[in-house]
């Protein structure tokens, strides 16, 4: 039997995550049955669950993958850049799937205490990256100093959540770039 390289396993895992993200976004967690996941990925349940223990682990891996990418962007460029990137890709099918996954994470946080507990550390990583970025910006003299860091972080998180909801509901992106300019201006030192 031929050996499969780690690169091939990693590539297959990423393919499964991308297809599962779209399936969860389209059908929700409950509606993304194993059969639908098989159809979306083009793989058997055995092949899917070779990489992931069960459907919940697969969903959490999708959400973790999204959260990791977000933490990287926040660390480098801040939460407003995450919003700008999201807006720039708003019409992409990948973004639509990602938005739907984000809404499904939000729903499961409200309805599934076990999921909420598992998700808490991922959420904390995003919050920590945002706070650290804001502290660095304040130390560099770029960020306003009349509002506590935690309040600025909450303001940016609310703006982000609002943008995700707006786009996920299929509302037009319109002139949201100017709105993000306003959000960014609100946290800058004048």
pLDDT digits (tens, 9 = 90+) for 119-170: 887 888 888 999 999 999 999 999 999 999 999 999 999 999 999 888 888 8
188 has which bridge partners?
A: 143
Burial (Cβ within 10 Å: 0-12, 13-18, ≥19) of residue 104: buried
Give me the helices (H) in 53-170, please. 55-77, 79-88, 93-111, 113-139, 149-168
pLDDT of residue 2: 62
pLDDT of residue 15: 93
Q: Which residues, 6+ apart, have CB-to-CB distance to 27 below 8 Å?
A: 33, 36
- pTM of structure: 0.78
> What is the CA 172 to chain-centroid distance, rounded?
20
Q: Which residues, 6+ apart, have CB-to-CB distance to 41 below 8 Å?
A: 15, 16, 19, 20, 23, 47, 48
Residue 4, helix vs strand vs coil: coil
Low-confidence ranges of the chain (pLDDT < 70): 1-2, 91, 93-97
Residue 9's CB is within 10 A of a number of other CB atoms, namely 12
pLDDT of residue 126: 86
Whole-angstrom CA distances from 32 to 11, 39, 158, 180 are 22, 10, 28, 34
pLDDT of residue 39: 95
């Amino acid at each position: 039997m031929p050996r499969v390289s780690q690169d091939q396993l990693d590539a297959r895992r990423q393919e499964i995550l991308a297809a599962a993200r779209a399936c969860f976004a389209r059908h929700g967690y409950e509606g993304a049955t194993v059969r639908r996941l098989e159809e979306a990925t083009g793989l058997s349940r055995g092949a899917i669950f070779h990489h992931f223990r069960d459907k919940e682990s697969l969903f959490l891996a999708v959400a973790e993958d999204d959260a990791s990418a977000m933490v990287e962007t926040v660390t480098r460029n801040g939460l407003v850049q995450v919003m700008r990137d999201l807006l720039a890709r708003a019409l992409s099918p990948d973004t639509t799937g990602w938005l739907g996954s984000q809404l499904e994470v939000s729903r499961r946080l409200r309805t599934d205490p076990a999921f909420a507990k598992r998700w808490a550390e991922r959420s904390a990583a995003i919050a920590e990256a945002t706070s650290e970025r804001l502290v660095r910006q304040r130390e560099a003299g770029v960020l306003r100093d009349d509002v506590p860091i935690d309040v600025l972080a909450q303001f940016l998180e609310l703006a982000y959540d609002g943008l995700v909801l707006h786009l996920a509901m299929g509302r037009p992106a319109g002139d949201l770039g100017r709105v993000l300019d306003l959000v960014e201006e609100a946290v800058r030192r004048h």
